[in-house]
Amino acid sequence: MTNRPLLSFARQYLLVVLAALAPVVMAGFLATAEVHALRDQVAQHDAAPRHMT
């Protein structure tokens, strides 16, 4: 039973790391999605004729 506390510590550490990384990953996904949406908007705006503004 010597590896039991180490296992629980590793599991807790992994859980903390995942909890800390989850918002960062979500923010990264949201940022890339927003950048892609903005890029599409800019592409549509550039594709539109200039005098239609």
DSSP for 13-34 reads: HHHHHHHHHHHHHHHHHHHHHH
Query: Where residue 51 falls among pLDDT bands split at 50, 70, 90?
Result: low
Q: Which pLDDT tens digit goes with each residue over 12-36?
A: 999 999 999 999 999 999 999 999 9
Predicted pLDDT at 53? 54
CA 25 to mean position of chain CA atoms: 3
Q: What's the length of the chain?
A: 53
